[in-house]
Amino acid sequence: MPWGWSPDGSRIVATDWRPRTSDFPVVLIDVATGRTQEIPPPHGPPLQRYSIRWSRDGRSLYWLTSLDTDFVHLARYDIAAQKENSLTGAIAWDVECYDVSDDGQVIVLATNEDGWSRIHVLDATSAQERTGTRQALGRSPTSFPAEVSRVRLRLELRTITTRAVFI
């Protein structure tokens, strides 16, 4: 399943869906040569990485995973160093979805906290949560800068349109 093009348009990130297994390796595809590079899976049981996005500079990938935790968290994978780091390890709730600002400086994500979606705004470089930005989904972004508000709106629309409604 393709997830997206690198910022320079030279590579595609995809997952290799394999029937009868719960392991979905992440693969980088060089568009010019067709060569593939599988990102090494972590040791241990099979693990899914999904909702994959490129960093603005094309040197890292963001994805959702449950590696080393009971919760789905947002991680950043440094391609050159082949190292994955959790960005939301301090948040003891499942990350439902996320988006990265167009300038690559801000990550806006929604967590499921006892059935309620809550918005968090992180600095993309340090992964530190910006103070005063934690709000419930649907509240107006009174104190968010314009760039964060655009990302938050995209995130809210994505979250709202992916919800199942039962009648």
Q: What does the pLDDT look like over 9-40, one tens digit per residue?
A: 999 999 877 666 666 789 999 999 999 999 98
- Could you tell me the CA-to-CA distances from 37 to 11, 20, 43, 86 in Å, in that order? 10, 22, 18, 22
Residue type, 8: D
| CATH number of residue 67's parent domain | 2.130.10.10
| Domain count across the chain | 1
Whether 79 is covered by a domain: the verdict is yes
Name which of 94-98, 102-106, 153-157 the model is least confident about. 153-157
Structure tokens at 148: 């964060």
Its domain, for residue 120, covers 2-161
Whether 167 is covered by a domain: the verdict is no
Please give the torsion angle defined by the CA atoms of residues 119, 63, 50 and 96, in that order, rounded to the nearest 10 degrees. -10
- The torsion angles phi and psi of 92, rounded to 5 degrees, stand at -90, 50
Residue type, 130: R
- The torsion angles phi and psi of 150, rounded to 5 degrees, stand at -65, -45
Whether 146 is covered by a domain: the verdict is yes
Whether 49 is covered by a domain: the verdict is yes
Distance separating alpha carbons of residues 9 and 102, to the nearest angstrom: 16
In tens, the pLDDT along 64-77 reads 988 777 889 999 99
Whether 166 is covered by a domain: the verdict is no
Whether 19 is covered by a domain: the verdict is yes
Distance separating alpha carbons of residues 121 and 78, to the nearest angstrom: 21
pTM of the model: 0.77
Top-confidence range, 31-35, 89-93, 145-149, 160-164: 31-35
